[in-house]
């Protein structure tokens, strides 16, 4: 049996999932592939790291293996029995490209272990276990978007998720004549993790200043009263980004991709100016795309500080990309990579 666990992109709704907000992600047809069989010791091998790790103690190793070890720990904490296994991981997902290779590994490992043990764990629970693994074991205070998407996504659809109530619904992406591309900027700023945690903290402080318990109770009027420029801009991003997600939902109902594209650009400007999670390389890409009539819209995707750009465009976009790639190389000496993406189903297995 091989488990296929997809990466995720996010159409819109960035840095809202730890602020009780809305997100609209989808899984992509690029996978972490996982094979598993029972063994007498715990072993995990990564084709990319060209390295195997054997573990007897369920403790952190500060390596990629922690995503697997953490899943064993969290499954056991929930009362699932986990017997030793031999696991082999092979990934098509670039690390650090903002496509959530870590959530794909967590959810995929959990799914593979559950199958081996004969458990049929509900997908929402699997997402919750994977999220607990990331936050409590690996130690990254992320929101729930990535794990939910990898576990629950549906082919041909985006997933509208309310991270406050955890209710979700599937939204068809009828991409007739419209395509979605991901451009990997090739940069990953080391500050990423600490800046991510700082943004969380700033959002918490903004809430306190507004005397609110949840961003769901916050209006733009409340935001404009904040008497600290940085915190005001952080809060403004969250509130306006939630509005943009809702507007995107209605635009998708009528397949109005021009409008969706405009909302993507607006999301990018807010991530750049209010939330300050973009970087010069990504802004260079966006500025170029803005001048191209075949592009509906684009924005930075995921946590930010580098990573990927999501582009909504007409099918002749690859030609435009060729020019961009040249200019980017001249400016930064980095080779841009691009792929077309299709909304995939969540984690699944092939016998
Ligand atoms: C990372 C986190 C997600 C989310 C995004 C930003 O991908 O893992 O939970 O917060 O950043 O939207």
Question: What is the per-residue pLDDT across 281-319, written as a single tens digit (0 to 9) for each?
Answer: 999 999 999 999 999 999 999 999 999 999 999 999 999
How do beta strands 85-91 and 343-344 pair?
A: unpaired
Asked if residue 303 has its Cβ within 6 Å of ligand 1, the reply is: yes
d(CA 45, CA 162): 36
From 143, 193, 204, 304, give the residue whose CB has the most ligand 1 atoms within 8 Å, as the site to mutate: 143
Residue 168 three-state SS: strand
Ligand 1 atom 2, closest CA? 142
Ligand 1 centroid–CA 145 distance in Å is 7
Burial of 56: CB neighbours in 10 Å, binned 0-12, 13-18, 19+:
exposed
* Mean pLDDT of the chain, nearest integer: 96
| pLDDT over 80 at 96, yes or no | no
Tokens 């021009």, located at residue: 258
Asked if residue 143 has its Cβ within 6 Å of ligand 1, the reply is: yes
Ligand 1 atom 8, closest CA? 142
Asked if residue 241 has its Cβ within 6 Å of ligand 1, the reply is: no
Domain coordinates in residue numbering, the chain: 2-172+346-350, 178-342
pLDDT tens-digit map of 216-266: 999 999 999 999 999 999 999 999 999 999 999 999 999 999 999 999 999
Ligand 1 centroid–CA 17 distance in Å is 7
Question: Phi and psi (nearest 5°) for 176?
Answer: -70, 115
pLDDT tens-digit map of 18-67: 999 999 999 999 999 999 999 999 999 999 999 999 998 999 999 999 99
Longest C-alpha distance within the chain, in Å? 61
The structure tokens listed for 128 are 């919750």
Ligand 1 centroid–CA 81 distance in Å is 30
Percent of the chain with pLDDT over 90: 94
From 107, 163, 182, 303, give the residue whose CB has the most ligand 1 atoms within 8 Å, as the site to mutate: 303
- CATH fold for the domain made of 2-172+346-350: Ribosomal Protein S5; domain 2 (3.30.230)
Ligand 1 centroid–CA 41 distance in Å is 34
> Band of the pLDDT at 270, cuts 50, 70, 90?
very high
Active site residue 146: yes
Ligand 1 atom 1, closest CA? 303
CB 141 within 8 A of CB 200: yes
Asked if residue 18 has its Cβ within 6 Å of ligand 1, the reply is: yes
Ligand 1 atom 11, closest CA? 303
Give mean pLDDT, residues 188-215: 91
35 forms beta bridges with 2, 88
Among 17, 20, 66, 146, which one carries the catalytic annotation?
146
- pTM metric for this prediction: 0.96
From 14, 22, 67, 146, give the residue whose CB has the most ligand 1 atoms within 8 Å, as the site to mutate: 146
The predicted pLDDT at position 191 comes to 65
The structure tokens listed for 29 are 């047809």
Provide CB contacts within 8 A for 12, sequence distance 6+: 23, 24, 241, 244, 245, 248, 260, 263, 264, 267, 299
Q: Which of 280, 269, 289, 278 is nearest to 332 (CA)?
A: 280
The predicted pLDDT at position 192 comes to 66
Q: Which atom of ligand 1 is nearest to the CA of 13?
A: 12
d(CA 308, CA 332): 16
The predicted pLDDT at position 223 comes to 98
Residue 12 three-state SS: coil
Asked if residue 17 has its Cβ within 6 Å of ligand 1, the reply is: yes
d(CA 83, CA 113): 9
Class of domain 178-342: alpha beta
The predicted pLDDT at position 351 comes to 81
């Amino acid at each position: 049996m091989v488990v296929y666990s997809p990466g995720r992109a996010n159409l819109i709704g960035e840095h809202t999932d730890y602020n009780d907000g809305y997100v609209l992600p989808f899984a992509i047809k690029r996978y972490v592939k996982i094979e598993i069989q029972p063994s007498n010791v715990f072993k995990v091998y990564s084709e990319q790291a060209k390295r195997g790790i054997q573990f007897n103690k369920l403790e952190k190793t500060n390596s990629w293996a922690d995503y697997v070890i953490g899943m064993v720990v969290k499954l056991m904490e929930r009362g699932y029995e986990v017997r030793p296994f031999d696991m082999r991981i092979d990934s098509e997902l670039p690390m650090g490209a903002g496509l959530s290779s870590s959530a794909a590994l967590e959810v995929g490992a959990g799914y593979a272990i559950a199958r081996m043990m004969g458990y049929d764990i509900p997908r929402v629970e699997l997402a919750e276990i994977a999220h607990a693994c990331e936050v409590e074991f690996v130690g990254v205070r992320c929101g729930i978007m990535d794990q939910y998407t990898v576990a629950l996504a549906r082919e041909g659809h985006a997933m509208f998720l309310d991270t406050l109530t955890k209710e979700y619904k599937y939204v068809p992406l009828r991409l007739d004549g419209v395509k979605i591309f991901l451009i990997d900027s090739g940069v990953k700023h080391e500050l990423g993790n600490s800046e991510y945690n700082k943004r969380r903290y700033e959002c918490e402080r903004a809430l306190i200043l507004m005397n609110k318990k949840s961003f769901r109770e916050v209006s733009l009027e409340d935001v404009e009263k904040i008497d600290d420029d940085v915190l005001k801009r952080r809060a403004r991003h969250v509130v306006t980004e939630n509005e943009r997600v809702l507007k995107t939902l209605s635009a998708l109902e009528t397949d109005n991709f021009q409008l969706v594209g405009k909302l993507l650009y607006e999301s990018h400007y807010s991530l750049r100016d209010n939330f300050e999670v973009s970087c010069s390389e990504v802004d260079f890409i966006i500025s170029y795309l803005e001048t191209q009539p075949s592009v509906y819209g684009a924005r930075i995707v995921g946590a930010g500080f580098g990573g990927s750009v999501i582009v909504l465009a007409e099918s002749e976009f690859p030609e435009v990309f060729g020019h961009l790639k040249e200019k980017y190389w001249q400016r930064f000496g980095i080779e841009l990579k691009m792929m077309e993406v299709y909304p995939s189903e969540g984690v699944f297995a092939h016998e």
